[in-house]
Chain A
Amino acid sequence: MSRRPLSGLRVIDFCWVGAGSYTTRILADLGADVVKIESGKRIDQIRLSAPFKDRVPGVNRSGYFADRNSGKRSVTVDLKAPGARDLVLELMTTANIVTSNFSPGTMVRLGLGYEDVRRQRPDVIYLEMSMQGASGPESSQVGYGMTIGALTGLQYLVGEPGRPPTGTGTNYPDHVPSPGHAAFAVLSAVMHWRKTGEGQHIDLAQTEATAAVLGPQIMAESLGIHQVSEDNVNPDAIFHDVVRTAGEDRYLAISVSDEAQWQTLLSVLDLEAGPVARAGTVEERSAVRGLLESRTLTWDPYLLMEELQRRGVPSGVVQNARDVIVTDRQLAHRGHWARLPHAEMGECLYNVLPFRFSRTDVRPTVGAPRLGEHTNEVLEAAGWSADEVQRLTEEGVLA
């Protein structure tokens, strides 16, 4: 692999499940040597989460796990086995960065807290990213992206009156706000370390990283402006919503910001001048959508998008997972998807980070590791002999 921004830096990574693993995946793509410490005794749940290759479950068969763990090396250590802590601490002397997303206090209980590690490696960058941070009355609560979205208002802000709010329908905090802010913090810490030689501790609460993306809405609420679902409305636009098109569950998003675009839209759809949407009431907006849909329902969404774009009306097909992989010409041009080989799954699909560097290629080149695939390789490179590794394996430490 050619040089990357984090080449030469090693991450000892205790992260598992969602947001943590996505964080260290970003670091791996940027060139860090990410050594994932995991265990067959307490398997990363995502290794056992669908979808599986050929629908056959197995610790090395999850596509969900793969996408979060490309470019990492896997070392299995049973952290509760006698001697495991000393082994891991010694391995940490080779680490620049240590990452975890357990409940607060877990790393300290394992004897691997910031102070323990700092004695081995005074300049370590030590990231902990629990659900609600290392302190506070609710810090022990367990959760996932969906419950983080519920706690922080993200979920509340999408929906219709009288029905349960829906949010994004995904564990959104796990995929952008939490890993994104965590990776940014680690990179900033690397910058500081390069300048001063000083490491630091980072405590990231996934709830706080998620609340940060709702800053303007939280500020508005504090001024007494109660924030509710936008129902796809943009008050500055003439029309700003999705309309149904031909096909099953097919929609086109259209955003009309001025009168000329509105006239163009009506003309493309062969409609007489209709009512102007603006914000209006729910019923008025629904009527305008209905009017447009009387024509769009017979349009192929892609053809209508191309036609509207050609004539200067912002629009985009509401694409599904198949579309972004198979149909989207732009993502294909950009090389957004990588297919990388895996010893057990064959080829596997990976997102590529959403940026290209002109001098430094940061696309993933190696897929996700099998459980314990690199235990021997990593330990032997760090000074353990093959015999010692075998003994530790037999004793159940490396398991």
Chain B
Amino acid sequence: MGALTGTTVLEIGGSQTLYAGKLLADQGADVLLVEPLEGHESRRIPPFAPDASGDVTSISFAYFNGNKRSAALPLMEPPGLGAFPRLIDGADVILAGGRPSDITRLGITPTSLPERTVVTTITPFGWTGPYAEWLADDLTLSALGGLLNMGGYHDGRPLKVPGLQSYVAAGIFGAIGTVAALIEKETTGAGQHVDVSVHESVTMALENAAQFYDFEGTVRRRHGGSQVQAARGAYRCRDGYVYLMAGVRAEAKFWRKLLQWLDEESVPGRGVLSGEKWLQRDYVESEEAKELFHEVFSAFCAEKTQTELYTGARSRAIPLAPINDLTAVLDSEQLAAREFLRRVPREDWPHGPVTAPGAPYRMSATPWDGSYSPPALEVASTGPTERDGDRRPQVVDGMEEVRP
């Protein structure tokens, strides 16, 4: 049993909500994804499973919605979901994505819902404000939120992380806000509007950049392809790159351990790295220090593989890691030992077996209970599938008559 077993969630609208709905479903909530008749937009989000034989081809759709039920409803004309009062009345939580006007057009107005309902809206910019109705996507929101500016090379343009990360971030915060509102409701009996902004969710990720501007007036820039300071950056090794984070921060212990390692390996040029100046922020951030360190450490790395460097760093408690591609992630001994990755049974995707992330947390009393068997859009007419009988789309409120 999950912590949210017995909680019913109606998820509707744009893809901003997908990860929030997944988090709630994986803790036991009964999440019903309300789709327009042509299917939720996330059925068309890449990447796609090649040569898929069934209705579900979007891998993203399977990942985000695999633990939800689905109902395809005619929502194009107002009152939208308002035409299905039993659905609204039966929901503890309404989770809606898109711009405020998109959401109200779907028949969701936070102030007109029953008092006990928690309504979580995940909108590009929040429910109100000068940008509230602006057009936006993952790229423009990553830009406006301030994170995009820090990704990419020091001599190049800003580069974005794949995978709708701004929506995932807002989904995480949306799930947090939703459960907090449910806890509050346990006390007061009243639900409320949890108004989540994707834009602000991105701004949560600026690390210390905002405080650097506030205190020092400095604006952090991209530093990809260069060292932030000596011993802090990506270094080429025999079979790829490693990331080292032994630059001097608050304490010098990692720097000392690193020097000890270089001593043990009799690394040429190691002597250059001696002296107290290497413990001063101003010096390790100087071009001279970065160049001197880079020369010595890169020559050391060039002889070794990612695994050799990672193993050596681990035994010495130095923060260094291989810059893994996802095949290396799939092959990780650590993730295997913890049984993190799950085999997903999908006969409709011929190039499998499919492997997917499992629990992002391990809870002893209410364990994660994920699934990657999303509903096909049109299964309702053919009955339950063999694999996962109760995950088929639900036909609700006499919808049989209305469906085309």
Q: B145-182, CB under 8 A of A: which get 1 and which 0?
A: 11111111100111111110100111011111101111
Set B182, B196, B218: member contacting A354, Cβ < 8 A: B196
Question: Can you sample 18 A-B contacts with CB below 8 Å?
Answer: A50-B208, A136-B337, A136-B338, A144-B319, A151-B324, A155-B243, A157-B163, A164-B233, A187-B183, A203-B362, A208-B335, A209-B360, A213-B19, A217-B162, A244-B157, A251-B157, A313-B135, A348-B211
* Complex partner residue of B337 from A3, A137, A232, A322, CB under 8 angstroms: A137
Which of B244-252, B260-268, B387-395 is near enough to bind chain A?
B244-252
| CB of B49 to closest CB in A, whole Å | 6
Partner of A172 from B205, B208, B211, B335 at Cβ < 8 Å:
B205
Which residues of B have CB within 8 Å of A325? 210, 213-214
Q: A234-B139, A357-B192 are known contacts. Are A167 and B204 too (CB-CB below 8 A)?
A: no
Find out whether the CB atom of B197 lies under 8 angstroms from the CB atom of A354: yes
* Stretch in contact with the other chain, from A83-91, A327-335, A369-377: A327-335
Closest to B185 in A: A5
B56 interfacial by beta-carbon distance below 8 Å: no
Known: A143-B245, A169-B223, A312-B135. A319 touches B143 (CB 8 A): yes
Q: In the complex, A137 Cα to B161 Cα: how many Å?
A: 29
A165 touches which of B23, B47, B323 (Cβ 8 Å): B323
Q: Considering the complex of A and B, which 9 residue pairs feature the smallest CB-CB distances, nearest first? A: A166-B224, A63-B211, A316-B140, A354-B200, A180-B172, A164-B234, A45-B250, A48-B250, A200-B365
When the two chains form the complex, which single residue of A153, A165, A324, A328 contacts B234, counting CB atoms closer than 8 Å? A165
Interface string of B222-264 (1 = CB under 8 A from A): 1111000000011110000111010001110000000000000
Q: Are A64 and B223 closer than 8 Å at their CB atoms?
A: no
Interface size of B as a range: 35 or more
Contact between chains at A329 and B131 (CB < 8 Å): yes
Tell whether A67 is near chain B: CB-to-CB under 8 Å. yes
Known: A138-B333, A143-B319, A208-B335. A218 touches B356 (CB 8 A): yes
Q: A166-B225, A330-B130, A354-B200 are in contact. Are A324 and B146 (CB under 8 A)?
A: yes
Is A182 an interface position by the 8 A CB rule?
yes
**Hey, which chain A residues are within 8 Å of B361, CB to CB?**
181-182, 184-185, 202-204, 208-209
Number of interface residues of A (CB under 8 A): 158
Interface membership of A147, Cβ < 8 A = yes
Residue interface bits A131-166, CB-to-B below 8 A is 1, else 0: 011011111111110111111111111111001111
Q: Closest CB-CB distance, B238 to chain A, in whole Å?
A: 14
Residues of B within 8 A of A253 (CB): 139-140, 142-144, 148, 158
B250 lies within 8 A of A212 (CB)? no
Chain B residues with CB under 8 Å of A177's CB are 172, 360
Asked if residues A331 and B143 are in contact (CB atoms below 8 Å), the reply is no
Taking CB atoms, residues of chain B closer than 8 Å to A67 are 208, 210-211
Within residues 306 to 347 of chain B, which ones have a CB less than 8 A from any CB in chain A? 313-314, 317-330, 332-335, 337-338, 340-341, 344
Q: Which residues of chain A have C-beta atoms less than 8 A from B151's C-beta?
A: 158, 166-170
Q: Is the CB of A138 within 8 A of B334?
A: yes
Q: Is the CB of B143 within 8 A of A180?
A: no
B225 lies within 8 A of A164 (CB): yes
Complex CA gap A36/B210 in Å reads: 24
Which of B32-40, B75-83, B121-129, B377-385 is the interface stretch?
B121-129
